[in-house]
Amino acid sequence: MEEFIYFFSFQDPNVLMVVTGIVLLSISTAMVGTFTFLDKKALVGDAISHAVLPGVCLAFMLSGSKNPYWIVSGAFVTGALSTYAITWVSNYTKLKEDTVIASVLSIFFGVGIVMMTQLQQTGNASLSGLDHFIFGNAISIVGQDLWVYGFLALAIIIVILLFYKEFQLMVFNRSFAESIGLPVKRLEFLFNSLMVLAVVTGIQAIGVVLMAALLITPAAAAKFWTNRLSIMLLIAVIFSVISGIVGAYISFVLPHMPTGPWVVIVLSLIAFLSFFFSTKKGILTKWIAKRNYQRKIHRDHILKALFAANEKGKEGLATPDVHANFPGKSFRTQSAINKLEKNNYITESQSVISLTQQGLKEAGRIVRLHRLWELYMTEYMNIAPDHVHDSAEKLEHIITPELEKQLDKNLNFPQEDPHQSIIPRDQDKS
């Protein structure tokens, strides 16, 4: 707890610096990542992050120190080279883009490792901490590095905000952007540079292997909450910032822990929660909606069966007969019956189920929709009466009252359906 207060009160200027740095980094990568995600280029980020390794090593070789200017420039050069190689190879060969990405990624990383093993043999003491570039450790960044990375992240954020409209057009409607005279090629170049820069600023804090997650995951999670780009950007930024701070805090409390993996874990957790519980597109939300719909269908069918019995002049149906209508679904049928009884649609006495007044009205409504639709199909679509049942079986559950009125009006308030069954009318209304 003490550490918690110490960390979050920011009394230590180093902590404050690191947190500021990681917040800026999270914002810039989340923003760039949202556009790459929408542009379906998520894995290019992965390739870039692996491809910066030879650049970092090259910078070490040339400068002999961990000077951030050199490292950023070196990483930028090979990162940019990898994006260029990916575009070039996928344009000029028959190879699929994912094969090209995987090839470029592993080749650049292999070259990086060769250079790294070379460097390690020189025994230069200033090279210690080189492995931070692989797994990332935000706490290890201090002083000058932080200014450079922070400044770059800020620059990325500003450029994206300035070119927000242009990038939006480029991602969503490329041909339109071209037709109104936007320099799409140059914009793309600018955007690719931003993407490489975003990866470069993150490598020391997050590490090359996991940097891809910072680009992909916030955007993917945000996509589940909104369809609007501006809101999606905001949500992605918030998710990313939260994970960045939590990751930095954990590696502060447990000093031997690398920051990158923890940031990624928190991010993934947020993403998976979004996938399951988001109110719009979450897996759980969709599942519940689907289950409710299936229950409604089942309920409707039971009511219809009872209505049919009623039309034949029977008082009700025996419970086993209702169950027999839906073979293999007795559990579901029973729960539907219980629910209908609770809602006062049916009554059950001595194993005979009969409709109440209210139930008769509801069942009549469903049958009316079914028969109206059948009539509509035969009258307006010229479909033979014996082919309209299946369609009506689906539509009877989803026709809204407004649509019902429209149908009724267009068909001139019919009395009978194509099979000469009487269309039940709601007595209260007429």
Partner 1 sequence: MSFDPNAFLIITTGSMIAISCGLLGVFLMLRKMAMTGDAISHAVLPGIVIAFLVSGSRHGLTMVIGAGLVGIIATVFIEYLSNKAKLQSDASIGITFTSLFAIGIIMITFLANEIDLDQDCVLYGEIAYVPIDLWITGTGKIMGPRVTYLSLINMVLVIGFVTVFFKELKISTFDKEFAATIGLSTVGVNYALMGMVSYTTVSSFEAVGAILVVALMVVPPATAYLWTKNLYKLIRLTVILGVVISFLGYYLAYFLNSSIAGAMATVAGFFFFTTVILQHKQIPRIKKKLAKAKPSIK
Which tokens sit at 203?
């490598």
Nearest C-alpha neighbor of 371 from the set 395, 355, 354: 395
Q: Does 210 bind partner 1 (CB under 8 A)?
A: yes
CA distance 328 to 387: 27
**What does DSSP assign to residue 66?**
-
Question: Which range of residues in 146-154, 267-275, 362-370, 379-387 is near partner 1 by CB under 8 A?
Answer: 267-275
Question: Which range of residues in 15-23, 159-167, 253-261, 354-362 is near partner 1 by CB under 8 A?
Answer: 253-261
Out of 258, 316, 364, 424, name the contact with partner 1 by CB under 8 A. 258
Minimum distance of partner 1 from residue 94's CB (angstroms): 8
Out of 9, 11, 65, 106, name the contact with partner 1 by CB under 8 A. 106
CA distance 14 to 21: 10
Out of 11, 118, 335, 338, name the contact with partner 1 by CB under 8 A. 118
Mapped onto helix, strand or coil, the DSSP state of residue 424 is coil
Q: Does 216 bind partner 1 (CB under 8 A)?
A: yes
| Helix ranges (DSSP H) in 39-162 | 42-63, 68-92, 97-122, 132-135, 144-162
Q: Does 262 bind partner 1 (CB under 8 A)?
A: yes
CA distance 321 to 83: 68
Question: Which range of residues in 38-46, 158-166, 371-379, 391-399 is near partner 1 by CB under 8 A?
Answer: 38-46
**Binding map of partner 1 across residues 151-190, x = CB under 8 A, - = no contact:** ----------------------------------------
What are the b/e assignments for 152-180, b being 16+ CB within 10 Å?
Answer: bbeebbebbeebeebbbbbbeeeeebeee
CA distance 107 to 212: 17
- Sheet with 352-355: strands ordered across: 317-318, 352-355, 346-349
Minimum distance of partner 1 from residue 423's CB (angstroms): 40
Q: Does 112 bind partner 1 (CB under 8 A)?
A: yes
CA distance 217 to 282: 16
Q: Does 37 bind partner 1 (CB under 8 A)?
A: yes
**What does DSSP assign to residue 353?**
E
Out of 62, 283, 288, 398, name the contact with partner 1 by CB under 8 A. 283
CA distance 343 to 295: 14
Element (H, E) at 376: helix 357-381
CA distance 418 to 196: 67
Out of 67, 103, 168, 356, name the contact with partner 1 by CB under 8 A. 103
Q: Does 304 bind partner 1 (CB under 8 A)?
A: no
* Residue whose tokens read 């793309």: 188
Q: Does 92 bind partner 1 (CB under 8 A)?
A: yes
- The answer to whether 138 touches 247, Cβ cutoff 8 Å, is yes
**Binding map of partner 1 across residues 46-65, x = CB under 8 A, - = no contact:** x---x---------------
CA distance 407 to 335: 33
Q: Which is nearer to partner 1, 165 or 291 (CB)?
A: 291
Out of 18, 75, 134, 138, name the contact with partner 1 by CB under 8 A. 134
Q: How many CB atoms within 10 Å of residue 253?
A: 12
Q: Which is nearer to partner 1, 72 or 270 (CB)?
A: 270
Q: Does 102 bind partner 1 (CB under 8 A)?
A: yes
Minimum distance of partner 1 from residue 318's CB (angstroms): 41
Out of 62, 65, 69, 114, name the contact with partner 1 by CB under 8 A. 114
Out of 86, 100, 157, 222, name the contact with partner 1 by CB under 8 A. 100
Q: Does 249 bind partner 1 (CB under 8 A)?
A: no
Interaction site with partner 1 (CB under 8 A): 37, 40-43, 45-46, 50, 85, 88-89, 92-96, 98-103, 105-118, 121, 131, 134-135, 209-210, 212-213, 216-217, 219-220, 223-224, 256-258, 260-262, 264-265, 268, 271, 275, 281, 283
